[in-house]
Amino acid sequence: MNASVAEHWLPGDRLPNVRLRAGSGESMTLHAEFAGAPLWLATPSTEVAATGLPEPPPGVTALCVGASAPSGAPSPWQSFAADPRWCAALGSGVLWRADANLRLQERHALPLSGALLQPVAVAAMDAMQTLQVAPVLQIPDVFEPDLCAALIRHFEVDCAGGDVSAVLVLEGGEQKLQVDPSIKQRRETFPRDPAIEARMHERLMRRALPEISRVFNFDVSRRDPLKLLAYPESAGYFRPHRDNETPDVAHRRFALSVNLNQGEYVGGEFRYPEFGPHRFSPPTGAALVFSCSILHEVLPVERGTRYAMTTFLA
């Protein structure tokens, strides 16, 4: 079933992805660059209208778009040229508010007649309310406490604390592994003991896969190698990213992560910026499973070391 392409977008529609080109020639895509924070999107019909754009609240990304990059928008507005049909569907002379998942919320004619308030506030937790929450699955007790402790020992002793985690970068047409603290900082290793690996595999097969099949209606047929991770105090984090964005990992469907020592560190929670500010820190031995397509991050570890085991399923 194909979703039909709307000529005009309405509140509730998720903004389709588009390539954005800055006046400097720099180019990026809307979803890759700007998902995860609330957005103001303006299409001023004249340069004068662009100079009068209102100041966005802190934490809101403000983009001024047109078939050619509009000039005159005051800082912190960023101006981009985008596909003319995409711009036309927004309408001319308007300011859209979109949420952190790039879902359109409200359309206002420019110039604004009144001040726009802060982005739609996240409701306080109330036992009777359904809160907007990231589509993640938490499965308790996938690994027993003694297996978690054995994995930490294996990581620190048999695997000598692992290696600094690197990312794959393209340099002169060649793929290279490179440490990049602007993306992540942690240590990692593949397990070196076939017996311990077999025990993890068995636990995933009997406890995680049936739940994934039931909840997501997805039957796992392969997985990436299991990887042990350590996020040290003041030096462990993984900035917002998706897990299936480059051709070598495009096959991945779900990420699975098991916390090995929850409660022994502060920080290091998962957050899904497209789906609100909530933090996820499943108990020791529990698995957190989520689609590789959604933006996620591991917040900085402030005290202690967070240990985890992760893999990707397809």
Q: Which residues bind ligand AKG (CB under 6 A)?
A: 229, 238, 243, 255, 257, 296, 298, 308, 310
Q: Which two tokens stand for residue 26?
A: 């720099």
Residue 200 and residue 118: Cα distance in Å, rounded?
46
269 binding Fe ion? (CB under 5 A): no
Output the smallest distance, CB 217 to ligand AKG, in A: 23
CA-nearest of 271, 199, 265 to 236 is 265
**C-alpha dihedral (293, 189, 182, 271), degrees to nearest 10:** 40
Pick one of Fe ion, ligand AKG, none as the site partner of residue 274 (Cβ within 5 to 8 A by kind): none
Pick one of ligand AKG, Fe ion, none as the site partner of residue 261 (Cβ within 5 to 8 A by kind): none
DSSP helix/strand/coil, 20: strand
Instruction: Note whether 208 and 256 are within 8 A (CB).
Output: yes
- Of the pair 99, 269, the CB lying nearest ligand AKG is at 269
Q: Which two tokens stand for residue 41?
A: 């999107």
- Of the pair 96, 231, the CB lying nearest ligand AKG is at 231
Q: Give me the sheet containing 137-139, strands edge to edge.
A: 137-139, 287-291, 254-259, 306-313, 227-231, 187-189, 163-164
Output the smallest distance, CB 258 to ligand AKG, in A: 8
Pick one of ligand AKG, Fe ion, none as the site partner of residue 271 (Cβ within 5 to 8 A by kind): none
- Of the pair 77, 290, the CB lying nearest Fe ion is at 290
- Of the pair 99, 243, the CB lying nearest ligand AKG is at 243
Output the smallest distance, CB 283 to ligand AKG, in A: 14
Angle at 35 between CA 254 and CA 217, to 5 degrees: 25
Angle at 40 between CA 22 and CA 114, to 5 degrees: 130
Output the smallest distance, CB 138 to ligand AKG, in A: 13
Output the smallest distance, CB 135 to ligand AKG, in A: 15
Pick one of Fe ion, ligand AKG, none as the site partner of residue 229 (Cβ within 5 to 8 A by kind): ligand AKG
| CB-based burial label for 154 (10 Å; 0-12, 13-18, 19+) | middle
Taking contact as CB under 5 A, which single stretch among the options 79-87, 144-152, 196-204, 239-247 is the one that binds Fe ion?
239-247
CA-nearest of 92, 93, 15, 24 to 61 is 15
- Of the pair 49, 308, the CB lying nearest ligand AKG is at 308
Residue 58: is the preceding peptide bond cis (ω within 30°)? no
Angle at 132 between CA 126 and CA 134, to 5 degrees: 125
Q: Which two tokens stand for residue 45?
A: 């019909």
- Of the pair 79, 257, the CB lying nearest ligand AKG is at 257
**Residue selected from 97, 186, 191, 243 as contacting Fe ion according to rule CB under 5 A:** 243
- Of the pair 79, 261, the CB lying nearest ligand AKG is at 261
Pick one of ligand AKG, Fe ion, none as the site partner of residue 257 (Cβ within 5 to 8 A by kind): ligand AKG
- Of the pair 45, 310, the CB lying nearest ligand AKG is at 310
Output the smallest distance, CB 241 to Fe ion, in A: 6
Instruction: Note whether 71 and 62 are within 8 A (CB).
Output: no
The per-type count for the chain, helices as H runs and strands as E runs, is: 6, 23
Output the smallest distance, CB 139 to ligand AKG, in A: 14
